[in-house]
Amino acid sequence: MLVVPMNVNRFLNRTARLYANKTAVVDQDMSYTYAEMYERVQRLSRALKGCGIKPGDRVAWLGYNNHPLLEAYFGVVQFGAILVPLNIRLAVTDLIRIIEDCSPSLLVFDSDFDTVARQLMDANPGMELIEIQIEGSHPQYQSYESFLAQAPDLDQVPEYPEIDENQVAEIFYTSGTTGMPKGVGLTYRNLFMNAMQVLISGDVGDDAVILHTIPLFHVNGWGTPHYITAIGGTHIMLRRFIPDVVLSLVEKHRVTHASLVPTMANFLNQAAEQHAYDLSSWRYMTFGGAPSPSSFVQVTMDHLGAEYVGGYGLSETSPLVSMAVIKDTLASEDPALLNQYRGTAGIPAVGVEVAIVDEQDRELPWDGTAVGELKVRGDVVMQGYWNKPEETAKVIRNGWFFTGDMASIDPEGYIRIVDRKKDIIISGGENISSVELEDALYRHPAVFECCVIGVPDAKWGEVPKAVVVLKPGMQATQEELMNFANSNLASFKVIKALDFALELPKTGTGKIQKTKVRKDYGGGWFNG
């Protein structure tokens, strides 16, 4: 029996042959065809092997959305090494913990992160550094382009051996309830099937031009490096999200697809109101993060002109679980009702099974009312957390991945996330662990107990707010506590508001009732 392993490099091999002269990637003033991208990817693989990187070794990548990182999605994994894209928004202390956990042999970094790279190397002396020179240069490190140039020619290197599709290809670090980063190990099969499921479930053809608004270090880049390459579309790289820049790139490059979180859409709506852009090419905008009200859906479609498609996924699911496409059986429904569907997490993607269960793991009905923990199974579910078998066993049970998110599913199969069991706060599309912020507060000598919740925010969707009980006889101001806790946190994680309480509501077993805290302290809008 002939079995061909699932490997994402089959996507690039296909496009390099079928679309050799088509533009594959545009990165500021640079552009490469698929034939050129293929050749650069081969050079990257050979250069990595030439400096001693072996199958199973981790290659960490610290940088913006740019063509080298897109190349790494194929060049690193092609011969069995493991790509570890790092979140550039994390504090150095978080990145050090990640480096200590996955022990990469090599760190490739953008010039802007030279200081951070040196700190990471100090924490892991066995790691080599390669610089991507964007602006300026640092002569102590080899540049990415010179690194590629040293690779031997194609005809001097044998073909790469087949790789087991169940091997880990990528590791993405995600925050959990403990605040400790956990490395999500995604296999070649996971990545391959996620791309195929997006292509089957979504509206993506070879005329697709995608603007990479979502960081490629975030949740497998929402799968875009693989499925756009697989279909032969064009990648437009974006280093920083600046609303007017985004809209001008849509106009200039005739962008058809982009992925957003609601916070981004808010900024784009404002920019579109202020300036005239030709956005007629934009067909499809996919949304992750918190559910969106139907009024927001309509306003965004009015301003940006593209179809609004909500969705849901996690790092642990590669990430696609569901997409809020409108089923043809609903197409004749009232437009306001359709917008409600568009703002949900959507229906399960082809190949994904979902269920909602109570605390005894009993399946609940799809009636739009019953709320339970959402569990998922399918080819996209991760192999497990890197170096954390006990944590893996907590979330993968009886053949299902338990997401920790509370949801309802209506009779049409549309999923609505109603709460986050893990108490993760989503601010501007980034996950923030409430427990991590609570730990930071507990280090202050005056704090007796505390609870951090997410509260609505007009700009970021939600931001962290703390409720604190002081120790008897101790004093501290709101500003003092927030400055103390925020001093070692990444900027997007900082506590934005703080209230004092005489006591916090408890369960019968003495646990703080976060649902009650949210009810009592979470209703106001923070506009700072």
For the stretch 57-88, pLDDT in tens is 999 999 999 999 999 999 999 999 999 999 99
Q: What is the pLDDT of residue 333?
A: 86
Class of domain 9-187: alpha beta
Distance of alpha carbon 285 from alpha carbon 271, whole angstroms: 16
> Which is the CATH superfamily of the domain at 308-420?
Luciferase; Domain 3 (2.30.38.10)
For residues 406 and 417, the answer to whether their CB atoms sit within 8 Å is yes
Whether the pLDDT of residue 312 is over 80: the answer is yes
pLDDT tens digits, one per residue of 242-287: 999 999 999 999 999 999 988 788 889 989 988 899 999 999 999 9
Least confident of 221-225, 308-312, 331-335, 478-482: 331-335
Structure tokens given for 442: 């507990």
User: Residue 131: CB partners within 8 Å, gap ≥ 6?
Assistant: 108, 109, 110, 111, 114, 117, 137, 138, 141, 142, 143, 144
pLDDT tens digits, one per residue of 203-224: 899 999 999 999 999 889 999 9
Instruction: Report the chain's C-alpha Rg in angstroms.
Output: 23
For residues 163 and 5, the answer to whether their CB atoms sit within 8 Å is yes
The residue count of the chain comes to: 528
CATH no. of 424-521 = 3.30.300.30
What is the pTM assigned to this prediction?
0.86
Map out the domains of the chain as residue ranges: 9-187, 308-420, 424-521
Task: Tell me whether domains 9-187 and 308-420 share a fold.
Answer: no
For residues 256 and 208, the answer to whether their CB atoms sit within 8 Å is yes
pLDDT tens digits, one per residue of 368-426: 999 899 999 999 999 999 999 999 999 999 999 999 988 999 999 999 988 666 677 88
